[in-house]
Amino acid sequence: MKNRTLLFVFAISTLMAVSCKKEAVAHGAVATDTTSTTTKNIAIVKESTEASLKNDSKAIYKNYADNYTEYGDGSGAPQVYKDKDSLAAGQKMMMTAFPDYKVENAKYYADGDEVIVIADWGGTWKNDLMGQKATGKAFKFKDAEIYTVKDGKITSHRTIAQMKPIAESVGFAWPQDKK
């Protein structure tokens, strides 16, 4: 059960991590890096994001580092992925379950190695997910995604939104943690 919980958190976080679609904007950020690193890092996240809108797993993860770490919403232990195949599997699973997944009002901010994407996220649970039947219910929430980009590769991702209430809002039966 705990593995299913972690898988769901990973899957929705991964989907969110690569699903923004607006133009990159660095307004409002306090940039300590006056070189082009900040601009390049936004472009790296944006390129991955645009590929996700086409559901092109190979292009999505081309700029992800080996040993990429997914922190999700912090409710579980960080997961380190040794290869991009496991990331692509999570993307495919979520895009199948939520084929209309969308991002609206996305804005990008950056400071050095950190890129933050603030947006409205939404979708409808239309196909089965992790052994549970689709409910046809929709979700929508505002969130901030935080990426770390080093040496031209995305090395980690975090999300601010708590995944459990979002999952439960569409009828996903969240497994109870074993005590």
Q: What is the pLDDT of residues 128-173, one digit of tens each?
A: 999 999 999 999 999 999 999 999 999 999 999 888 889 999 999 9
User: What pLDDT score does 23 carry?
Assistant: 34
Higher pLDDT, 7 or 149: 149
The pLDDT assigned to 15 comes to: 52
Residues 6+ apart with CB under 8 A from 82: 66, 67
* Two tokens, residue 17: 């991590």
Q: What is the mean pLDDT of the chain?
A: 80
Q: Please, what is the angle between helix 2-17 and helix 84-97, to 10°? A: 90
| Sign of the C-alpha dihedral computed for residues 74, 87, 66 and 155 taken in this order | negative
Q: What is the pLDDT of residue 179?
A: 41
pTM across the whole model: 0.76
Average pLDDT rounded to a whole number, residues 95-118: 90
Residue 91: pLDDT above 60? yes
Structure tokens at 43: 């472009």
Give the helix/strand (H/E) hosting 122.
Answer: strand 114-124
pLDDT at 28: 42
* Assigned token pair, 37: 């690193």
Which of the following CATH numbers is that of domain 2-169: 3.40.50.12280, 3.40.50.300, 3.10.450.50, 3.40.50.1970?
A: 3.10.450.50
